[in-house]
Chains A and B, each alone.
Chain A
């Protein structure tokens, strides 16, 4: 594998294998390899560099998660898959912005995507709501929860970092913050999921 990386002879299957093993080296190579294609697509379809970055990263994340889940099958070129995902995401964004069916100028072959792509996209929405709720939470709760749940800090570490007298204290604070976050999250969540009028 290393020889392949050095001599740049990586195939699509190599990339999928690498991503399954969470290789950041292969992820980096993949990322840089296909970005120009998506950049061209977005620019030529009324987008800018920032749009290209956002859509491309979302597409790569979709691919990555699908591989991690184990439900990714390499039926066509990786390039084509990434293009198709990016295309769908961008079309969705355009349609929500301009509210009329947009005509897309294609540069690559476009393949139909499985329906569980919708599941992953839905998860993205949940993340957005969560992020919003975390922002509303403010400090120190945001940092406290992020450290515990996302960075896996222990109660002792937290009490040290945030200056609580002991671990039990930290635990209490954590729960207060968690309850508040949950409350905010579920309010926003039910707002988003109300059927549109």
Chain B
């Protein structure tokens, strides 16, 4: 037993570098010829190393525990309660202030709210990504004195055709800042358009085709719903997140948009930049929304401007003059031609009426 202890002592001193040069040389000589000693050294090295690291980690963990005790877990858990209470949390925090403000003048409050709603443009929040597509600018290798290429589009999105007069609906943010707007059909033919109406707060815009060669062979199948859709309603969209038309399906997730926004619905769809402005259709083929944005931190959470907003906007005579016939179909004239068709048949019928938007 004593010998064993001596050996162990040597091994330990060797591993931790506590041997003198002479002792070390002597020990290494022994090691060379003694396999069982080598094994013992190896095992002890492993074990001591483990003990050492274990100690280090214990100290680290103690540190982390101290940090952890500092954190107020209850506050964090409060913030994690289901989404609808986001508004609730805000309300809880500010209700006293609001009560005071309200008692100082309802007018001031409503003016503030009005101001706030005007300011909220989809795309400015860092929780939401507006789905217009940004074209990657390819550096031109042309000589300096030649004119810059006019063919490079800046932003892209989707628009859908409402009638034979050439009116299309898209999102405001798709057109924001554009000098000119073109639309391109599925086959790749481009048409010039003018922007005839925009509404930043609702994130909607109306385009008109300005090309005499523009002609559709069939009537636009789109009917804008003025009803509230039900949750879980299967929905689909078609649009241009790439240069080809893309079909995406999902369902209606919530009756309001991000943080209770009453101009939008929340849908569960895997959409991407370029899908903005595309129609969101329900199972009967009615347009219930216009796709506009998706939420950053959650997969498949997207938002669409409610089709009912167009009916609200039609109170403006300008909008009414453009969309009157579409929003007020004469009985019997505009029937839903898509209702009885299968999904694939529906998409076949509508895809010619969905255009890529390119802004310059």
CB of A31 within 8 A of CB of B64, answer yes
CB of B77 within 8 A of CB of A43, answer yes
Q: For the complex, would chain A's binding face be called helix, strand, loop or mixed by DSSP majority?
A: helix
Which of B51, B61, B65 has most chain A Cβ within 10 Å?
B51
- Residue numbers of B with Cβ under 8 A of A are 5, 8-9, 47-48, 50-61, 63-65, 67-68, 70-71, 73, 76-77, 79-80, 297-299
Contacts of B63 in A (CB 8 A): 24, 27
| Given A32-B70, A36-B79, A57-B68; A127-B297 close (CB under 8 Å) | no
How far, in Å, is A52 (CB) from chain B's closest CB? 9
Docked complex Cα distance between A100 and B164 (Å): 57
| Given A61-B61, A127-B57; A31-B67 close (CB under 8 Å) | yes
CB of A131 within 8 A of CB of B54, answer yes
| Given A49-B73, A127-B50; A32-B67 close (CB under 8 Å) | yes
- Residue numbers of A with Cβ under 8 A of B are 24, 27-28, 31-32, 35-36, 39-40, 43-44, 49, 53, 57, 60-61, 64, 106-108, 123, 126-127, 130-131, 145-146, 149-151, 171-172, 175, 178-179, 182, 185
Docked complex Cα distance between A179 and B52 (Å): 16
How far, in Å, is A117 (CB) from chain B's closest CB? 16
Docked complex Cα distance between A147 and B67 (Å): 24
CB of B5 within 8 A of CB of A146, answer no
CB of B5 within 8 A of CB of A172, answer yes
Identify the closest chain B residue to A108 (Cβ).
B297
Identify the closest chain B residue to A28 (Cβ).
B67
CB of B57 within 8 A of CB of A182, answer no
Contacts of B52 in A (CB 8 A): 149-150
CB of B48 within 8 A of CB of A149, answer yes
Please name 10 pairs of A and B residues whose Cβ atoms are closer than 8 Å in the assembled complex, sorted by A: A39-B76, A39-B80, A49-B77, A57-B61, A61-B57, A61-B64, A108-B297, A127-B54, A175-B8, A185-B47
How far, in Å, is A32 (CB) from chain B's closest CB? 6
Partner of A35, one of B8, B9, B71, B297: B71
Contacts of B70 in A (CB 8 A): 32
How far, in Å, is A153 (CB) from chain B's closest CB? 12
Docked complex Cα distance between A95 and B59 (Å): 30
CB of A151 within 8 A of CB of B55, answer yes
Contacts of A31 in B (CB 8 A): 64, 67-68
How far, in Å, is A133 (CB) from chain B's closest CB? 10
Docked complex Cα distance between A28 and B63 (Å): 9
CB of B64 within 8 A of CB of A150, answer no
| Given A31-B64, A57-B61; A130-B54 close (CB under 8 Å) | yes
Docked complex Cα distance between A53 and B59 (Å): 17
Identify the closest chain A residue to B6 (Cβ).
A175
Contacts of B51 in A (CB 8 A): 130, 145, 149-150
Contacts of B55 in A (CB 8 A): 146, 149-151
Docked complex Cα distance between A57 and B59 (Å): 13
Docked complex Cα distance between A151 and B59 (Å): 10
CB of B64 within 8 A of CB of A60, answer yes
CB of A43 within 8 A of CB of B68, answer no
Contacts of B79 in A (CB 8 A): 36
Identify the closest chain A residue to B70 (Cβ).
A32
Partner of A107, one of B54, B56, B64, B297: B297
How far, in Å, is A101 (CB) from chain B's closest CB? 19
Partner of B5, one of A27, A35, A151, A175: A175
Docked complex Cα distance between A149 and B49 (Å): 10
How far, in Å, is A127 (CB) from chain B's closest CB? 5
